Amino acid sequence: MEQVVKLTELEAGIVQVTMEDKDSRNTFTKELMSALITVFAEIRRHPGYKVVILTGYENYFCCGGTKEELIRIHQSDAKFNELNFFTCPLECEIPVISAMQGHGIGGGFVFGLYADFAILGRENVYTTNFMKYGFTPGLGATLMVPLKLGEVLGNEMLHSAKNYRGEELKERGIPFKVVPKAQVMSEAMALARELAEKPRLSLVTLKKHLTAHIREKLPIAIEQELHMHEITFHQPEVGERIETSFGK
């Protein structure tokens, strides 16, 4: 089977996690989710690593839930918190940079926001499109999106489910660097080198402190999202929307 997530040591202290599930365009397949858990566990075992660059391939950073996965949740056969990969960047001891060189769609965009830093491509599409299907957001999106992008824009994105180009988000004042997609990786590498100059213990200690409020609030947000899913996810209209949208 083709390796869908690759771990590459770029230089001393800097590693790159590349999502390359080309058959699914980096949607949340079982293979991708399992591989991400495995790779981040591997990173944890290496005391020499200081910084992680998380990225995708070609035009795709990460594109969220598969049709099969959404149908299973709609039919009460699964819950999103069973997909326990999405907090890997948050739980990683060392800083993680999301180099979103391609589109970030739905839960895929939220996954990138669990990193400590994010760099977006000017031409790429970013969206939290949960409500497009008629169900309320999950994966901790109700916490992470307003927290990372700002409350006004974050709430707008969650409610509207519309597509935003990186350039538009830049104009709206997001706190992340937005550059031409061809420059995303070079910007990520420059930041990674700045971080890798610092002692690993200091990086780990500072990240633990700076993310404590997220780790404290996240279980509450997920519990609330699961409650909203019990209300919204099982509507017949949601199943119809999933079928129609993925049928295009």
Active site residues: 229
Indicate the Cα dihedral angle 208, 211, 217, 218, nearest 10°. Answer: -90
Element (H, E) at 15: strand 14-19
Residue 57 phi/psi, 5-degree rounding, is -135, 150
Neighbours of 104 (CB within 10 A): 31
Select from 178, 174, 64 the least CA-distant residue to 124. 178
* Token reading at 205: 């200690």
Residue 138 phi/psi, 5-degree rounding, is -135, -165
Distance CA 89, CA 104 (A): 15
Dihedral class, residue 190 (left if φ above 0, else alpha if ψ from -120 to 50, else beta): alpha
> Looking at the DSSP assignment, which residues form a beta bridge with residue 118?
98
Number of alpha carbons in the 13 Å side-chain half-sphere of residue 160 = 11
Select from 156, 54, 152, 140 the least CA-distant residue to 102. 54
Contact 152, 172 (CB under 8 A): no
Distance CA 152, CA 137 (A): 16
